[in-house]
Amino acid sequence: MERFTSLSHRIRSKVANRRLGAVLAFVAGAINAGGYMAVHRYTSHMSGIVSSIADDLVLGNIVLALSGVISLVSFILGAATTAVLINWARRKNLHSEFAASLMFESILLLLFALLGANLDAHPQSLVPSAVLMLCFIMGLQNAILTKISRAEIRTTHMTGVVTDLGIELGRLIYWNKSKEALPDQFVKADREKLVIHAFILCLFFLGGVVGALTFSQFGLIATIPFALLLLSLALPHLTKDLQDHFGQKSAF
């Protein structure tokens, strides 16, 4: 249990970063695929949304283009929220430096599950709200690992992961004519990086399969286990901060 909760500890290591990245990639894959089952939109990557905005503008679909812009802004606001929470926690020297964002994401996922109870009854008003909430959640989560790993690991979209994977594979199969080549000419793959990116990709895919299956069977209530998973990562550190806060008050 202690090893599990250490994944969101403010004191970081490469191993902890990669393990947390694996967990969040699984969650992102599940929510992205499951969210598509609910609202028929992928919300974890902005490349497609930005392209659709351009297409809709050219085709004269102003309402759809505006919808895309709002989704993009929602993703950006999610990422900005993570940055604010992390920087505020650092200034206060809190144990929940990264746990606060995970807690916020878990709360939003629980709200998303509640939203699903009325989604079928009011699709015209609630589906757009669900899309914006998912975009916000994806921006929030992607920024967590980006901040923690200094942009080494992404969890909500796989374009960068697959690109880095391809680069390392290219280095791996590259034939160096001589091992005595100059250091700046010798090509060597970062096998550790190759493994972690392959692992992240596989877990995102696995999460997508699990999300699609559970959402198709149970609806948006299927987000609850993922919310509880994030909550279990965040709660110990938030509890520690509360204990420290009230302990200081009682000392006076």
Q: What is the DSSP letter of 10?
A: S
Place of tokens 């916020």: 104
pLDDT tens digits, residue range 93-118? 888 888 899 999 999 999 888 876 66
Has this prediction a pTM greater than 0.75?
yes
Would residue 247 count as lying in a domain?
A: no
Task: List, in order, residues 6 or more apart from 191 with CB less than 8 Å away.
Answer: 168, 172
Which pLDDT value is given to residue 56? 92
pLDDT at 164: 85
Q: What is the pLDDT of residue 175?
A: 77
**What does the alpha-carbon distance between residue 93 and residue 57 come to, in Å, rounded to a whole number?**
46
How many structural domains does the chain have?
A: 1
Task: Report d(CA 156, CA 143) in Å as an integer.
Answer: 9
User: How far apart are the C-alpha atoms of 69 and 64, rounded to whole Å?
Assistant: 9
From residue 33, alpha-carbon distances to 38, 186, 202, 205, 221 in Å are 9, 41, 14, 9, 14
Kindly state whether residue 4 falls inside one of the protein's structural domains: no
Of the pLDDT bands very low, low, confident and very high (cuts 50, 70, 90), residue 54 is very high
pLDDT band of residue 78 (cuts 50, 70, 90) is very high
Q: What is the pLDDT of residue 191?
A: 84
Q: Which domain holds residue 182?
A: 22-235
Residue 209: CA count within 13 A, CB half-sphere: 5
In a domain, 177, yes or no: yes
Domain assignment present for residue 35? The answer is: yes
With respect to residue 244, please indicate whether it lies within any of the assigned structural domains.
Answer: no
Query: What integer pLDDT is reported at residue 55 of this predicted model?
Result: 94
Residue 9 included in any domain:
no
Task: Identify whether 240 is part of a domain.
Answer: no
For 173-201, how does the pLDDT look when each residue is reduced to its tens digit (9 = 90+)? Answer: 887 776 665 666 677 878 888 888 898 89
What number is the average pLDDT over the span 149-174?
Answer: 80
Q: Give the Cα separation of 233 and 101 in Å (integer).
A: 11
Rounded distance between C-alpha atoms, residue 126 and residue 68, angstroms:
16
Mean pLDDT for the chain?
A: 83
Look at residue 163 in the predicted model and tell me its pLDDT: 87
Residue 10 lies in a domain: no
Residues 6+ apart with CB under 8 A from 77: 136, 139
